[in-house]
Amino acid sequence: MQRSAFSILFFLLIVLTACAGETFDTTFAYQPEDLINTGENVYLENCSRCHQLDGEGFLRIYPNLVGNPLVTLHDPVPIIETVLNGQGTMPGFRNTLTHEQTAAVISYIRNAWGNEASVVFPKQTR
Ligand code: HEC
């Protein structure tokens, strides 16, 4: 009886340690505001020549990112894939941007110009 109680405590300790590690990686190492701020510069340098500074692009040539359902989708995977692999005439940024820069620029466009969606952390853009 005592032994199984000890096992349960030990198991809980392992789970708690794992959770703490996870929280550290996403919450303390990268603050959402820092990702968004860094992302603004990445956007200016890599995306604004097509999608424009205001995110509105050019009608029928470069898609508008403002209020765009793909950009603010709850699941960030489709937008991560678009930025990494490119789409149509848009180049992929897999070899141009670091994981941090990719996460930052996506966090930025998900929260710029009135868009509101969760930020993306670098471990999601690997
Ligand atoms: C050379 C011009 C160009 C650059 C630079 C560019 N894009 Fe694009 N982007 C496009 C075009 C064109 C499309 C539409 C592709 C298609 O569907 O044919 C697109 C599509 C997208 C989409 C999907 C929109 C939708 O509704 O499907 C996102 C998100 C996006 N771009 C983000 C970015 C980000 C972030 C960057 C910078 C890291 C960037 N783009 C750089 C031209 C560009």
Q: Are residues 1 and 50 in the same domain?
A: no
Q: Are residues 63 and 89 in the same domain?
A: yes
Q: Are residues 23 and 76 in the same domain?
A: no
Q: Are residues 25 and 36 in the same domain?
A: no
Q: Are residues 49 and 109 in the same domain?
A: yes
Domain containing 26 equals 1-30
Question: Do residues 92 and 86 touch, judged by C-beta distance below 8 A?
Answer: yes
Q: Are residues 114 and 81 in the same domain?
A: yes
Atom of ligand 1 nearest to the CA of 61: 12
Read off the pLDDT band of 125 (50, 70, 90).
very high
- Whole-model pTM? 0.84
Residues touching ligand 1 (Cβ under 6 Å) are 46-47, 49-51, 62-63, 65, 68, 70-71, 79, 82-83, 87-90, 93, 105, 109
For residue 43, give the nearest of 13, 15, 65, 18 by alpha carbon: 65
At 15 the pLDDT is 65
At 10 the pLDDT is 73
Q: Among 52, 56, 90, 109, which is best to mutate for testing ligand 1, by the most ligand atoms less than 8 A from CB?
A: 90
Q: Are residues 89 and 101 in the same domain?
A: yes
**Ligand 1, atom 8, residue with closest C-alpha:** 90
Contacts for 94 with CB less than 8 Å, ≥ 6 apart: 84, 85
Amino acid residing at 57: G
Q: Are residues 21 and 39 in the same domain?
A: no
DSSP class of 122 = G
Read off the pLDDT band of 7 (50, 70, 90).
confident
Question: Do residues 120 and 49 touch, judged by C-beta distance below 8 A?
Answer: no
**Ligand 1, atom 18, residue with closest C-alpha:** 88
DSSP string, 78-93: HHHHHHHH-BTTBPP-
Which of 126 and 104 is assigned the larger pLDDT? 104
**Ligand 1, atom 22, residue with closest C-alpha:** 82
Q: Are residues 16 and 45 in the same domain?
A: no
pLDDT in tens, 65-118: 999 999 999 999 999 999 999 999 999 999 999 999 999 999 999 999 999 999
Q: Are residues 1 and 47 in the same domain?
A: no
pLDDT in tens, 10-37: 777 766 666 665 555 555 689 999 999 9
Helix, coil or strand: residue 58: strand
Q: How many domains does the chain have?
A: 2
Q: Are residues 14 and 42 in the same domain?
A: no
